[in-house]
Structure 1
Amino acid sequence: MGNFWSWSKEPPPPMVLVPPLFDFPPLAARTRMLESPYNLLFGKLALRCLFDDYFEVAKHFSTKLLLKPTDDPHVDLTATVSGPLDSDAKETIIGNALFRLQSDIDDPHTFADLFVSSSDPILLMRACAYYPKYGLGAFGIVPVLQKKRSSSEDYGIIGLRYGSSNISLGATLMPYSLRDEFPKSAWLVSKIGRLTVGVQFDPKFEKKEDARYRNLKNWSYAIGYGLGTGSPLSPSFNFGLELAQNSQFIASFYQHVVVQRRVKNPLEDNEVVGITNYIDFGFELQTRIDDEKTSNNIHDSTFRVAASWQANKNILVKAKAGPLGSSFCLAFKSWWKPSFTFSMSAIRDRTVGKTSYGFSVCVDNVREASYQRADPNFVMLTPNKEHLAEGIHWKTGSRTLLQSNVDSGNFDGVPKELRPLGRIL
């Protein structure tokens, strides 16, 4: 009898499904070295993804292809086609294509790409080089073919930047009008603990050199408070205040919540007892503070709120609302190679009292998910797809609380999709 029990198999330990995020890292993170960090930090990038991704324009469609060859992962191609659903509309269908060459597949900061479009600019070249050892970087944007060059910016922009984990500073300039408009823009952003502060000089008013610097409308200031490591398996919180162009006050907040719920799926194994969900909230308030407009109408002060819920690796639900309308989006993703995503949006316009629809299709093998299962503390224990979840207790109001490698900032054994976007501010 003792031999019988010794030969019997022990039941497998319980496991928790940890589905990959629909789009991580976001595509905007691949070109962030071409843009001022002032426009990406303070929760701005996360809010942009929450408010814009999968929300299609009313009565419009879009298709996107993100493909890279299996023989050479250093290059990839992104092609988009978008336009109106109504054949009688005056708008035309627009097609774009972006060919990208990246020297290091794990480092998106050094790259070169070619952008072609059926609209202006027809051909655009961009390149960026960053040296982590010194924290120095340089980039350039050159419109090669353009129907009409009406400003100095249409002849090209170059930029220099310095970045570390606590500070980022840089400037852009236009060689064609170096004497009259120097610099085109400049920024300084610093992080002290959980606090991030930044200032940006973007001269859109006054042409004379002295007046450009004295005009407060050319300056913007922001301060933000943030929690979290930047990994999608770790909860995060961002709150920001911004004074833009001395005329607009913007308050925003974004929160990424990681929760676990019980699951009873007949298609899963018996040892699968739970699933991890991702819930995101975002709020943004904009109000004018200058005296140029005395009326307090909806255009002087407005707000918007949005939320998303990823129930599993295949389904994402999003909704957003504001004074002028609201939108609802349902997206379905199939994790084939390449992955296939279909989304449908319903847009309610309160000004005319009508509801319209839009849809999009996306095929992607540039961002590949490599994680599916983990323990309750979101630690990737082994490089394969079956990660044991020992010691989980499904009781009301009770949850295992242990310090994890993700919380401590140790991402050495974590797939690159789960790591923070980078150590560069």
Structure 2
Amino acid sequence: MWNWLFSREPKPPPQVVLVPPLFDFPPMAARNRMLHSAYDVAFGKIALASLFTDYFHPARHFSTRLMLKPIDDPHVDLIATVTGPLDRKPHDSIMGDALFRWQSDVNDPHTFMDLYVSTSDPILQMRSCAYYPKYGFGAFGVFPLLLRKRVSSQDYGLMGMRYGSGNLSFGVTLMPFALKDEFPKSAWLVSKMGRVTAGVQFEPQKRKAKFSNLKNWSCALGYGIGSGSPLCPSFNFNLELVKSSQFIASFYQHMVVQRRVKNPFEENSVVGITNYIDFGFELLTSVDEAIAASNISDASFQIGASWQANKNFLLKAKAGPRSSSVALAFKSWWKPSFTISISATRDRGDGKMQYGFGIQSESLREASYQRADPNFVMLTPSKEHLAEGIVWETGKRPMFKSDIDAGHFDGLPKELRPTDKIL
């Protein structure tokens, strides 16, 4: 009897599925969203811009980016970028810029100030934004301090005021040194009702613009589902009429899938891994007869997809009427982390394949695989681990349970929560 009691083998740990960190968090455009109207960043525009531009380097060009954050003061960071042609010629130039940013709250990117320096205009620029979530009001400003030449009122700076909540956003952008008939620079109103989002924006094209002129107005309507957390699938479909001259239709879908994996570098309890798959489509066509008559092709479209296989590899592809591109990125999560990316673009006109190259170093965050967290890791039921989570069942689609379905994301890492509660 004693031999039987002491010879029992310990029960194996519950099986888990790895949840990798996002390849890029937060998106660079999301850090500056409060400097722009809610109309310009709503309707899936940030996600689509990231899908169609990130890691797709210009043909025969290189890009180098350095992103640093000091250990002693996480409120500040520095981003420096150098870009140029791979086969530089005498008339070609290498461009460089740097952005020094101070952020009031490490976890809230909506209140900040930054200084931007560049080898091209603007040579020196200051931007600032203050937002108070408790009241929903904010103010922002963009001020070019050094320019080679100032030709318009906008070159002297912009200021704006805004209100934002989970279902409503409105605001106005002004030019403090504008002439009397240049007021305002823009104004917007965006509202969300359930899964439907609607918005309008006023942008005068000429001085002494009239509100009754439809050429100065843009309107959009969107339908979206999903919480905004990368762990929850989401879908967004949008229609936009831009200044009565262009019509844009787009959709963006984020998918969260799990696949079985046997990794010799992981423990035996690891049976699968979470993947992030994104699809996007955008169609732009002219509805103005004058513009359509002057262009042989007055319509443009592009479709793209990305697949993050794990925390180290990202594969992207996009296609349009003029070219097709493929991008592959590899990220090493050292301290600091390094990302190497290469893109290939095939021009449909001449059939040539051209390549672009990029390298990036980052110390803005520390990320690693998440596992065995009852809030979002997939677990097989066991007596030792009774916490609710995502159940892994052979042959069936995993089901999201517990806090994820309830909308409670406080237990998740910051990059796996919804972005914010501001429209």
TM-score bracket relative to the smaller structure: over 0.9
Can you list the C-alpha shifts for 1:132-160, whole angstroms capped at 9, x where unaligned? 12111001110000101111100010000
Q: Structure 1 residues 65, 124: CA separation in 2 closer, same or farther (over 3 Å shift)?
A: same
Question: What pairs up with 1:227-306 in 2 under 5 angstroms?
Answer: 227-295=225-293, 299-306=297-304
Count of matched residue positions in the alignment of Structure 1 and Structure 2: 417
**TM-score normalized with structure 1 length:** 0.93
**Greater shift after overlay, 244-253 or 364-373?**
364-373
CA-CA distance at 1:59 after TM superposition: 0.5
Question: What pairs up with 1:21-420 in 2 under 5 angstroms?
Answer: 21-88=22-89, 90-204=91-205, 206-209=206-209, 212-295=210-293, 299-369=297-367, 371-374=369-372, 378=376, 392-396=391-395, 398-420=396-418
Listed as ranges, the gaps of 5+ residues in structure 1 are none
Contact kept in structure 2, 1:15 and 1:389, CA below 8 Å: no
Large movers: runs of 4+ above 6 Å: 386-391
Contact kept in structure 1, 2:251 and 2:280, CA below 8 Å: yes
CA-CA distance at 1:175 after TM superposition: 1.0
Q: Structure 1 residues 387, 364: CA separation in 2 closer, same or farther (over 3 Å shift)?
A: farther
CA-CA distance at 1:375 after TM superposition: 6.3
Cα distance in 2 between the residues matched to 1:63 and 1:388 = 45
Contact kept in structure 2, 1:392 and 1:400, CA below 8 Å: yes
Partner of 2:382: none
Contact kept in structure 2, 1:298 and 1:323, CA below 8 Å: no
Contact kept in structure 1, 2:136 and 2:164, CA below 8 Å: yes
Contact kept in structure 1, 2:284 and 2:300, CA below 8 Å: yes
CA-CA distance at 1:401 after TM superposition: 2.8
CA-CA distance at 1:368 after TM superposition: 3.0
Q: Structure 1 residues 349, 270: CA separation in 2 closer, same or farther (over 3 Å shift)?
A: same
Q: Which amino acid aligns with 2:84?
A: G
Q: Which amino acid aligns with 1:207?
A: R
Q: Structure 1 residues 294, 225: CA separation in 2 closer, same or farther (over 3 Å shift)?
A: closer
Q: What do you get for the CA RMSD once the two structures are aligned?
A: 2.2
Alignment partner of 2:211: what SS?
A: helix
Alignment partner of 2:172: what SS?
A: strand
CA-CA distance at 1:394 after TM superposition: 4.4
Contact kept in structure 2, 1:128 and 1:140, CA below 8 Å: yes
Can you list the C-alpha shifts for 1:261-300, whole angstroms capped at 9, x where unaligned? 0001112111110000000000011111111145496630
Contact kept in structure 2, 1:319 and 1:329, CA below 8 Å: yes
Contact kept in structure 2, 1:374 and 1:388, CA below 8 Å: no
CA-CA distance at 1:130 after TM superposition: 0.8
Q: Which amino acid aligns with 1:28?
A: A
CA-CA distance at 1:250 after TM superposition: 0.5
Cα distance in 1 between the residues matched to 2:319 and 2:352 = 15
Alignment partner of 2:113: what SS?
A: strand
Contact kept in structure 2, 1:187 and 1:198, CA below 8 Å: yes
Q: Structure 1 residues 77, 392: CA separation in 2 closer, same or farther (over 3 Å shift)?
A: same
Q: Structure 1 residues 167, 294: CA separation in 2 closer, same or farther (over 3 Å shift)?
A: closer
Q: Which amino acid aligns with 2:422?
A: I
Contact kept in structure 2, 1:136 and 1:163, CA below 8 Å: yes
Aligned-pair identity (%): 65
**Greater shift after overlay, 90-99 or 115-124?**
90-99
Can you list the C-alpha shifts for 1:359-408, whole angstroms capped at 9, x where unaligned? 11111111332552256972599xxxx99998844422x13435331232
Cα distance in 1 between the residues matched to 2:199 and 2:151 = 31
CA-CA distance at 1:8 after TM superposition: 2.4
Q: Structure 1 residues 374, 256: CA separation in 2 closer, same or farther (over 3 Å shift)?
A: farther
Contact kept in structure 2, 1:375 and 1:388, CA below 8 Å: no
Q: Structure 1 residues 191, 424: CA separation in 2 closer, same or farther (over 3 Å shift)?
A: same
**TM-score normalized with structure 2 length:** 0.94
Cα distance in 1 between the residues matched to 2:333 and 2:46 = 25
Q: Structure 1 residues 391, 8: CA separation in 2 closer, same or farther (over 3 Å shift)?
A: farther
Q: Which amino acid aligns with 1:27?
A: M
Cα distance in 2 between the residues matched to 1:122 and 1:72 = 27
CA-CA distance at 1:70 after TM superposition: 0.3
Cα distance in 2 between the residues matched to 1:198 and 1:75 = 34
Q: Structure 1 residues 387, 94: CA separation in 2 closer, same or farther (over 3 Å shift)?
A: farther
Cα distance in 1 between the residues matched to 2:302 and 2:4 = 65
